[in-house]
A = this chain, B = another copy of it.
Amino acid sequence: SDTIHLTRGLPVPQGISKPAFLAAIDDLKSALGAEHVQLNDTEIKNGWYMEHPNTHDMMPLFDFEEFVASAVVYPSCVAEVQMIVRWANKHLIPIFPISMGRNLGYGGAAPRVRGSVTIDLGKRMAKILSINEDDFTCLVEPGVSFYALHEELQRRGLGDKMWIDTPDLGGGSVVGNTVDRGVGYTPYGDHWACHSGLEVVLPGPDAQVLRTGMGALGVGGENTWQCFPYGFGPYSDGIFSQSNFGIVTKMGMTLMPNPGGFESFMYTFPNESDLAPLMEIIRPLRISNILENVAQLRHGLQTLSVKGHPRTKYYSGFGPMPDAIVRTELEKTATGACAWVYYGMSYGPAPIRKLKLDLIDSAFKQIRGAKKIDPATLPADEYFWSRDRIASGTPDLEELKWVNWMPNGAHAAFSPVSPIRGADATKLYELAKKRHMEAGIDLMPAFCVGLREMHLIVEIVYDAADAGMRRRAEKCLRDMIDDAAALGYGEYRTHIALMDQVAGTYSWNDHALMKFNNQLKDSLDPNGILAPGRCGIWPQRYRNRGWEL
């Protein structure tokens, strides 16, 4: 069912007694208003994507009660965020900020440390503070979703003039996705590279608030805050991404000018072995920007699963679904039987697009059996049109459908980075295949080609109610991380449960980078209250005390 009773009761954070914790919560209620602090002591609800919980991960990889908040607090402004930080320092209570908490596949809304107090920034801090039509920029609070930003552009009649960039699901937070260094599919897909300016509350006892870049100017900083990311002196934004060094309360984002036209295209490739030569073809086209957006090269099985039917519709045997069945089923669809599907978009006025599309066509057709699918032949509900919307900056939800593959469908992602090379693609694909085979899990890989690198995103879909399958999924993930590390590949992002392991692979020179991260952590957060363990960074109070997973 949707509601889960907390059998272990209120998850009081370690190191504080229950009465002391409850007294601290009462303090917080007096400061912010009782209605803005919710104790999490009886039951949690899973909801669905658009009504997701903020107390835990609705798609848990461990038991639901493992990564769970003791309370959720809803600040309405920066001063209240500062108040919460001071409160946490006073009581030594771990706090975990989320913008919206839709980080599905990477831990959802769950805090890394059981019993943390989750700061749900998005609920009451959800203003679009500015949209600048001249500069093609905006300034947003954590609660602004990709949907909300897109709708506001339409509402102001600016939808034709400028685009947002959206990840595959539009319900996430612009701030939350960007600070986790998420990606989208227009030429503005590298969200971190496209942001400009942060406002950050620091985790120290005095909860200082600073603005980065031009926002630090004493007078008039807002004029250039979103135009020029760097400012003067050390450029500190980066250390507030994928970290636990600060709470981001405002972020500037650039918007993409309408390119003057766009056109999606789709190619299919018949054989698994086409992967390597195809990557060699894609690389130079992508680096020279003839392929202009984050290319998605997906395995045929994902094209099947995104139709939204349960796996059992096609197959109910144990172990990965046999290839022959995937092909037979794909045969009945618009793509036809194939091993790989490439989804791309060309931008600009028609004559410019044509020059690029012709180049792409003759390059892709070097693969024997490559087929360009004519969009005119595709029905309106074909997944192609979802990619078309996303690559032109319109948020969408279609992508959720492959989660239906399993009952109680949950998923967790394995996301290693590699050069755009045939040999690398093959090695990663083979190791994923081997580990999926061992785990008896269907392999759904998508190669997302950035500019000079690709992220392989392997989405493991599992039955969240099946503890055995959760363990198999976790083992498969951990094995892939280790295998990849041994071959020289590292993850760009990971699930909260896997952060220690992934951080551990970045071990050059006796873990020099982690020692450096720890040093910054201890300086900025001496009481170790902010998101302990996030990205493998543990504050002194927790370090080497058995918290690492």
Query: Interface of A with B (CB < 8 Å)?
Result: 134-137, 181, 192-193, 196, 202, 208-212, 214-221, 223-224, 226-228, 230-243, 245, 254, 257-260, 283-284, 287-288, 349, 351-352, 355, 417-421, 424, 450, 452-453, 485-494, 502-503, 505-509, 512-517, 519-520, 522-524, 535-537
Q: Which of B193, B210, B216, B241 contacts A234 (CB 8 A)?
A: B241
User: Would you call B452 and A490 a contact (CB within 8 A)?
Assistant: no
Give chain B residues whose Cβ lies under 8 Å from the Cβ of A245: 234
Instruction: Given A134-B419, A235-B239, answer yes or no on A509-B209 (Cβ-Cβ < 8 Å).
Output: yes
Assembly CA distance A216 to B517 (angstroms):
12
User: Would you call B512 and A208 a contact (CB within 8 A)?
Assistant: yes
User: Would you call B288 and A259 a contact (CB within 8 A)?
Assistant: yes
Q: Which of B134, B488, B507 contacts A223 (CB 8 A)?
A: B488
User: Would you call B211 and A513 a contact (CB within 8 A)?
Assistant: yes
Q: Which of B227, B258, B512 contacts A452 (CB 8 A)?
A: B227
User: Would you call A485 and B352 a contact (CB within 8 A)?
Assistant: no
Q: How far is the CB of A173 from chain B (nearest CB, A)?
A: 19
Q: Of residues A228, A284, A517, which shows the largest number of chain B Cβ atoms within 10 Å of its Cβ?
A: A228
User: Would you call A221 and B523 a contact (CB within 8 A)?
Assistant: no
Assembly CA distance A452 to B260 (angstroms):
19
A-B residue pairs, 6 tightest by C-beta: A220-B488, A235-B238, A218-B507, A523-B523, A234-B243, A210-B512
Q: List 29 A-B contacts (CB under 8 A).
A: A134-B421, A135-B420, A136-B287, A137-B452, A181-B230, A192-B230, A209-B509, A210-B508, A211-B508, A217-B489, A218-B485, A219-B485, A219-B486, A220-B489, A226-B452, A227-B417, A232-B506, A233-B506, A233-B514, A233-B536, A234-B520, A234-B535, A236-B516, A236-B517, A254-B452, A260-B288, A351-B351, A352-B352, A519-B523
User: Would you call A419 and B259 a contact (CB within 8 A)?
Assistant: no
Instruction: Given A209-B512, A231-B506, A239-B234, answer yes or no on A224-B537 (Cβ-Cβ < 8 Å).
Output: no
User: Would you call A508 and B217 a contact (CB within 8 A)?
Assistant: yes
Instruction: Given A417-B224, A419-B135, answer yes or no on A232-B512 (Cβ-Cβ < 8 Å).
Output: no
User: Would you call B135 and A216 a contact (CB within 8 A)?
Assistant: no
Instruction: Given A224-B489, A485-B217, A493-B232, answer yes or no on A239-B242 (Cβ-Cβ < 8 Å).
Output: no
Assembly CA distance A221 to B489 (angstroms):
7
Instruction: Given A228-B452, A506-B216, answer yes or no on A237-B234 (Cβ-Cβ < 8 Å).
Output: no
User: Would you call B503 and A233 a contact (CB within 8 A)?
Assistant: yes
Q: How far is the CB of A230 from chain B (nearest CB, A)?
A: 6
Q: How far is the CB of A56 from chain B (nearest CB, A)?
A: 24
Assembly CA distance A351 to B419 (angstroms):
32
Q: How far is the CB of A186 from chain B (nearest CB, A)?
A: 13
Instruction: Given A135-B287, A232-B502, A243-B233, answer yes or no on A217-B490 (Cβ-Cβ < 8 Å).
Output: yes
User: Would you call A513 and B228 a contact (CB within 8 A)?
Assistant: no
Q: Which of B196, B202, B239, B516 contacts A208 (CB 8 A)?
A: B516
Q: How far is the CB of A139 from chain B (nearest CB, A)?
A: 13
Could you list 15 further interchain pairs (A-B, Cβ under 8 angstroms) beyond the known A181-B235, A211-B509, A216-B506? A135-B420, A136-B287, A137-B452, A208-B516, A212-B513, A217-B485, A218-B505, A219-B488, A223-B418, A224-B453, A227-B417, A228-B417, A228-B492, A234-B242, A519-B523
Q: Which of B196, B223, B260, B508 contacts A218 (CB 8 A)?
A: B508
Assembly CA distance A283 to B490 (angstroms):
40
Give chain B residues whose Cβ lies under 8 Å from the Cβ of A522: 523
Copies of this chain, count: 2
Residue of B nearest to A200 (CB): B516
Q: Which of B237, B238, B417, B519 contacts A214 (CB 8 A)?
A: B417
User: Would you call B492 and A232 a contact (CB within 8 A)?
Assistant: yes
Give chain B residues whose Cβ lies under 8 Å from the Cβ of A453: 224, 227-228
Q: How far is the CB of A493 from chain B (nearest CB, A)?
A: 7
Q: How far is the CB of A404 from chain B (nearest CB, A)?
A: 30
Q: Of residues A220, A260, A507, which shows the largest number of chain B Cβ atoms within 10 Å of its Cβ?
A: A220
User: Would you call A242 and B236 a contact (CB within 8 A)?
Assistant: no
Give chain B residues whose Cβ lies under 8 Å from the Cβ of A506: 216-218, 231-233
Assembly CA distance A137 to B287 (angstroms):
11
Residue of B nearest to A219 (CB): B488
Give chain B residues whose Cβ lies under 8 Å from the Cβ of A509: 208-211
Give chain B residues whose Cβ lies under 8 Å from the Cβ of A517: 233-234, 236
Give chain B residues whose Cβ lies under 8 Å from the Cβ of A287: 135-136, 257
Give chain B residues whose Cβ lies under 8 Å from the Cβ of A491: 232
Give chain B residues whose Cβ lies under 8 Å from the Cβ of A227: 417-420, 452-453
Q: Of residues A215, A490, A519, which shows the largest number of chain B Cβ atoms within 10 Å of its Cβ?
A: A490
Assembly CA distance A527 to B517 (angstroms):
20
Q: How far is the CB of A86 from chain B (nearest CB, A)?
A: 16
Residue of B nearest to A506 (CB): B216
Give chain B residues whose Cβ lies under 8 Å from the Cβ of A226: 452
Give chain B residues whose Cβ lies under 8 Å from the Cβ of A196: 452
Give chain B residues whose Cβ lies under 8 Å from the Cβ of A519: 523-524
Residue of B nearest to A285 (CB): B257
